[in-house]
Amino acid sequence: MNKNPVLWKFDYRYLALISFGLLLLLFAFAGGLQELVVRWDKQEEYSHGYILPFITLYFIWQRKNLIQRSGFSPSWMGFGIVFLALIVFLVGEISALYILIHYAFIAVLMGIALAIMGWPAVKPVIVPILLLIFTIPLPYFLEASLSANLQLLSSKMGVYFIRWCQIPVYLEGNIIDLGSYKLQVVEACSGLRYLFPLMSLGFICAYLYDTTFWKRALVVLSTIPITLFMNSFRIAMIGVLVDNWGNAMAEGFLHDFEGWVVFMACLGILIVEMLVLARIGEDRRPFAEIFGLTADQPASAAAEVKIRPLSRPFSAIVAVLAVATVTVFSIDKRDEVFPERKSFPLFPMQLSSWQGRHTSMEDTVINKLGLSDYILADFKQDQGAPVNLYAAYYASQRKGISPHSPRVCIPGGGWQIADIERKDLGHLAVNRIVIKKGEMTQLVYYWFQQRGRSLANEYLMKWYLFKDALLLNRTDGALVRLTTMVNPGENLDLADQRLQVFAKEVLPVLPQYIPE
């Protein structure tokens, strides 16, 4: 005799407990979620973050019939995931490293799902939950490095397309010189505004693409070369339009409209790719049959309704969420420590036999760098080439704003890195870079001076930034860069000697402006 199917439901007490747990979660993570929305609002490449949570909720709701028929098997693994995620969350709160908070939030959601339903019921909705990862912005320093490299690569490919159209063009870094007009491939044109939304869209398409795993993975991964190719093509088309119809083709509404057209073209290529993949391999089926939402059969009218028993792992999660929420709001909200220091405009322009002269940067550059104070000055002795001193000071790096690495920025100015190495100058470790542009050669030393440490390793600098934010409540620091021209007929040894002599003069003075 066949039993009637069972339809599982929550009673009002269980729903009240779930609502209370989610409310605690939102209260605890309010600061991190607020910062997330700020990034979505400020940076167009992450503006798609507003809609992804709703898509996730829709995909989960779409599987509601399957979930209702599933006999839950609450897992204590969910409690373990939440416990570890809350530790990461508290570390992120204390150090104000928001990326830890953001990933901890998704991990807590995953843990709650496992604690309530168990793996058999979570499995159908695991992909929609993982979709939330695409709402999390990259750390600023990784984003800056990726953007700079994409700018250069897009510029090179764009110039290739322009030359293919028989238009003479010259490339200097990320500046495309058409003779009558110079196109600068700025960060907004790096392709990130296409890459992150298209990767999210590719992930959604892969979820809707009911076929073998390798085809789904290929759909997601292919969004990267598609974005790079189409962004380069867009840059080339702007160059061609400017060459034929003038500078207005690279500005205003038309420029923005071209970006929208290119993104839709990227989506079209993605669809064509899925159509082709549907016709190859062992799993060959019509595209309409394998692309779309899976329709779960609704429960029959004869289904027996049962109330789900309360999950002990979830009850434990609610308890630790309450503790975490109280802990967050009871943490001593100390103001970040900002040590006393002199301002760089007071930096002496006479260092022993070196005579200096202040120069300045444009306000747009200063705003883009996000620095708190800086010095840009040329120092010269009676003989020899001058040494340019640049130091960018950041009073706080809590929100991820930090010095831009010269090895990322230098190529954007048209200079090519000919050689790079780590060099020890006594107690000071520096990055030594030889850069070239045409017949010109320059030698660059740079290091990161952070809270009493002089570091050449950028990743080690990030580690100490995290450690000092956690233990000292300080995130101040600076980038220091020394640059000198290698004159015609002069060898690099003389340029090295010049920078080393100047470094010995400037190092004792810097702690007054970059606190230890």
Using H for helix, E for strand and C for coil, what is the string for 25-87?
HHHHCHHHHHHHHHHHHHCHHHHHHHCHHHHHHHHHHHCHHHHHHCCCCCCHHHHHHHHHHHH
Is residue 313 located within the same domain as residue 431?
Answer: no
- 45 lies in some domain: yes
Is residue 150 located within the same domain as residue 192?
Answer: yes
Distance between CA 230 and CA 208 in Å, rounded? 24
Is residue 134 located within the same domain as residue 191?
Answer: no
Is residue 364 located within the same domain as residue 304?
Answer: no
Residue 26's contacts (CB-CB under 8 Å, 6 or more residues apart) are: 33
> Is 112 exposed, middle or buried (CB count within 10 Å of its CB: 0-12, 13-18, 19+)?
buried
**Residue 396 DSSP class:** -
Helix/strand/coil for 340 = coil
Residue 323's contacts (CB-CB under 8 Å, 6 or more residues apart) are: none
Is residue 171 located within the same domain as residue 121?
Answer: no
Two tokens at 414?
Answer: 């048209």
- 336 lies in some domain: no
The pLDDT value recorded for residue 189 is 59
- 28 lies in some domain: yes
Report the b/e string of 486-497 with b at 16+ CB within 10 A. beeeeeeeebbe
Distance between CA 239 and CA 183 in Å, rounded? 7
Structural Rg of the chain based on CA atoms: 28
Cβ atoms of residues 354 and 502 within 8 Å: yes
Distance between CA 251 and CA 477 in Å, rounded? 38
Long-range contacts of 376-383, Cβ-Cβ distance < 8 Å, separation of 24 or more: 377/347, 377/349, 379/351, 379/354, 379/355, 379/502, 380/354, 380/355, 380/356, 381/353, 381/354, 381/355, 382/353
Angle in degrees, CA 271, 274, 278, rounded to 5 = 145
Is residue 145 located within the same domain as residue 286?
Answer: yes
- 88 lies in some domain: yes
Is residue 146 located within the same domain as residue 39?
Answer: no
Report the b/e string of 70-86 with b at 16+ CB within 10 A. bebebbeebbebbeebb
Distance between CA 121 and CA 132 in Å, rounded? 19
Is residue 285 located within the same domain as residue 163?
Answer: yes
Is residue 241 located within the same domain as residue 261?
Answer: yes
Distance between CA 104 and CA 89 in Å, rounded? 6
Beta bridge partners of 424: 429
- 339 lies in some domain: no
Closest CA to 149 of 132, 125, 174: 174
pLDDT digit string (tens) for the chain, length 516 residues: 446 676 777 788 888 888 999 999 999 898 888 888 988 888 788 888 899 999 999 998 888 877 777 777 888 999 999 999 999 998 887 766 788 889 999 999 999 989 988 888 888 888 899 999 999 888 766 776 677 677 777 777 777 777 787 777 766 666 676 666 666 665 555 667 778 888 999 999 998 888 888 999 999 999 888 888 887 887 777 777 776 666 655 555 455 666 677 788 888 888 899 898 888 887 778 877 788 777 666 666 666 777 777 888 889 999 999 998 888 877 655 577 889 999 999 999 999 889 999 998 888 778 877 889 999 999 998 877 899 999 999 998 876 677 777 776 766 566 777 788 888 888 888 999 888 877 788 999 999 999 989 998 888 888 888 888 878 888 889 999 999 998 887 888 899 999 999 999 999 999 999 998
Q: Check residue 196 and give left, alpha or beta (phi > 0: left; psi -120 to 50: alpha).
A: alpha
Angle in degrees, CA 179, 183, 189, rounded to 5 = 160
- 1 lies in some domain: no
- 86 lies in some domain: yes
How many structural domains compose the chain?
Answer: 3
Distance between CA 354 and CA 244 in Å, rounded? 52
**Cα pseudo-dihedral 311, 313, 315, 320, rounded to 10:** -170
Q: Which helix (H) or strand (E) holds 364?
A: helix 363-369
Closest CA to 314 of 77, 509, 86: 77
Cβ atoms of residues 496 and 502 within 8 Å: no
Two tokens at 396?
Answer: 């706080």
Cβ atoms of residues 400 and 98 within 8 Å: yes
Q: Which domain holds residue 185?
A: 141-290
Distance between CA 102 and CA 106 in Å, rounded? 7
Report the b/e string of 392-430 with b at 16+ CB within 10 A. bbbbbbbebbbbbbbbbbbbbeebeeeeeeeeebeebbb
In this prediction the pTM is 0.71
Distance between CA 287 and CA 209 in Å, rounded? 9
β-pairing, 387-394 vs 477-485, is antiparallel
Helix/strand/coil for 355 = strand
Is residue 124 located within the same domain as residue 241?
Answer: no
Distances (CA, A) of 443 to 44, 385, 387, 479, 500: 37, 11, 10, 17, 11
Distance between CA 437 and CA 486 in Å, rounded? 12
Is residue 119 located within the same domain as residue 15?
Answer: yes
- 375 lies in some domain: yes
Is residue 156 located within the same domain as residue 74?
Answer: no
